[in-house]
Amino acid sequence: MHRFLMLLTITITISLFPASVTAMTDNTEEASIIIEVDGNPEEHKMYLETYHPQIDVIASYETLFNGLALKADPRQFEQIESLDFIQAVHPVTTYETQLEALEETENSVMPSALNRTSYTGEGVQVAVIDTGIDYDHPDLAGNFAGGYDLVDLDDDPMETKASEGMPTMHGTHVAGIIAADGELQGVAPDADIHAYRALGPGGMGTSVQVIAALEQAVDDGADIINLSLGNAVNGPDFPTSVAVDRAVDLGVPVVIANGNAGPENWTVGSPATAANALSVGATSNPLTVPYLVESLQDKHIPLIEMGGSKPWKLGKSYDVDVFNGQNAQGKIALMERGEMPFSEMALKAQEAGAVAAVIYNNEPGHFQGMMSDTQDSIEIPVASIAREDGEWLMQNGQDNNLYLETEYETTEQTMADFSSRGPVTVNWDLKPDVSAPGTNILSTIPGGYQELQGTSMAAPQVTGAMALLMEAHPDWTASELTGALKTTATRVRDGGSEFYEPIIQGAGNIQPEKAINSTTVIEDPLLSFGKIGGNQKTKTMDIKIENKSDEPQTYRFSIPDKEKGLTWDLPLSFTLEKGETTTVPIELKVNGNQIDKGIHQGWLTLNQQDEKYQLPYLFVNQTADHPKAMGFDFTLKPFSDDTYAYQLYLTDPAESIDVMLYHPQTLVYERTLLTSDDLQVGLNKGQIDQSELGKPGQYLAVINVKLETGEMESYQTGIYIEEQS
């Protein structure tokens, strides 16, 4: 159908970065910012209009958060920096993606394949909060119904064009999955798309611009909101998550990409961590996956091809050589992930004569990488492998020639490795809620079509499915609509006979047609019992079950297998009359001393004649190996060239933190950046004068947290201290 198109493949994740003043102060054109304020935004708006008339107050926000949108010459903003009612200032920062063309694949997934119903989403108002939309695209022009630009603060939510900075296309791709109506068809081709540009050139934006877009969408009357973006903070009370919960409380379902930080647990990020969000994981199409094979030791090493890389099509055995810049003629160059960009590492290997490059992780597990080369200068395939496999190759190939051949395996539909996993810290919620196709998804981009992958592509398929449900059942509540998708989802197997754990797939892969026609709706079938500690503890969760059929229906739970330390108290067989709704208590008794500490999860089965409804459950016994500290950000404070702001998210009560700086290459200790004992669970903020920072440059920051239990938690990240002006 699309043989004339050139398709691109990339794993997409959009992150919300901390604010930086550099995006505003490099020119004297008008800049747009959003400020958070203490008190009544309308009163502060009147104050600014009276005493600072050179600053235009574009909008005020008070539905989901307190704030004002301002536009002025950047130098004018310096006059209001010291105003007491301003709590935070949010200019924009930059995120970049680079794409490289690939040949068209045979595994393209058409969004319309998800819709096997007669419904089209007609009359449903869908808000897409993203990088904007190419509303001139012939497949989207008829569905575009307006929107707003939260970056430039105007009514034109067009994608960033090359003349304006790093061009974007992510929002157009997302919108096309939902409602393209032309040569390509979306899931709900007659739905109306309202675009809210919260991320500008290269995908730049802040969490508050996203919150402001959420508020604008709610106030504009959106029926459903799509957020294919997120950050790395695995907590339920990060500001974007709180705003999402408020939007849902107002009756607007919010569908959110779970993130692309899998396959480790605890990687779902805000705002998909919001308790009320419909968070979405990504399933993977059947694909042909290359492996490096050492037959004598029966070693199989899976390769994850880099986004934008040439396809891995090696046809014979090659020696794997640990590459340190030496001649690698006719060999596979093995390198460790570090500070150097992947494209630069690959180019060095190519110049040394390598036939391919393999980059192994510098921390446990696999990773997904992206090539940033745009000059077609890298002609060799590049792939990533897990650290454990890299260390095996190092040990076995250091002193001997290690010849490996490439073999290929065709996979079944599985959960995508990149799909972020739950659960959520602090409240121990089970996430994601559901899953949807997220690899090789063909959709619209400015000027054409592309094939992309990521949970960013899975979320709009769920949004499109919700639009179909809304058209089919306009009288259903938001909780009934989302409940129908969860109730009828089908569990995904792990490539064998076992099902993926609930924290990987949620309720399972959505089935829109079955959801529309379901005679039973469980409004929230995901059972999160939270953290349980001590000896004998009892937790009860109530689930609401509704009989949507025209006749009585009888239900009964299957008796779970007996497990030491666990006792389930489930209701006996019960009958609901037509249209009847009941609340059913699910009681769990746990003896924490008789079972292992950590995450416990599984499935309860509710039977109704020939139907079986699977209810995923989760609880944490006493403690879990979850991250205690995350999201350390360190940037220049807005309107300042000599003060840095930092923030850190804590999931457990802590006594103190210290941030130690190390040389990024030699790992030699340099100095302590900061210490603090004024801490709280959740987001912690502070600031440091540049005079206290020491020598500028790039550093490895090690964040050490002493918990109230006496345990120490550490993690590391890179930071940059600028030259003092």
Q: Which of 90, 170, 194, 626 is catalytic?
A: 170
In this structure, are strands 86-90 and 101-102 parallel, antiparallel, or unpaired? unpaired
Question: Three-class SS string for 151-185?
Answer: CCCECCCCCCCHHHCCCCCHHHHHHHHHHCECCCE
Number of C-beta neighbours around residue 118 at 10 A? 10
Burial class (CB in 10 A: 0-12, 13-18, 19+), 704: middle
Q: Is 710 exposed, middle or buried (0-12, 13-18, 19+ CB in 10 A)?
A: exposed
CA-nearest of 703, 83, 100, 3 to 373 is 100
Nearest to 89 by CA among 20, 40, 23, 176: 20
Annotated active-site residue 625? The verdict is no
What is the C-alpha separation between 482 and 212, in angstroms, rounded? Answer: 24
User: Closest Cα to residue 505, out of 598, 602, 600?
Assistant: 602
156 is catalytic: no
- How many CA atoms does the CB half-sphere of 524 hold within 13 Å? 20
Residue type present at position 4: F
CB 280, CB 462: distance < 8 Å: yes
Question: Active site residue: 443, 456, 518, 528, which one?
Answer: 456
How far, in Å, are 139, 149, 363, 628 from residue 62 at the CA level?
A: 35, 18, 43, 32
Name the active-site residue from 32, 130, 270, 626.
130
Lateral strand order in the sheet of 288-294: 299-302, 288-294, 403-410, 318-322, 332-336, 356-360, 382-385, 304-305
Distance set, CA 205 to CA 68, 211, 214, 668 (Å): 16, 11, 14, 34
300 in active site: no
Residue 39 — left, alpha, or beta (φ > 0 → left; ψ -120 to 50 → alpha)? left
Among 538, 539, 541, residue whose Cα is nearest residue 522: 541
Active-site positions?
130, 170, 456
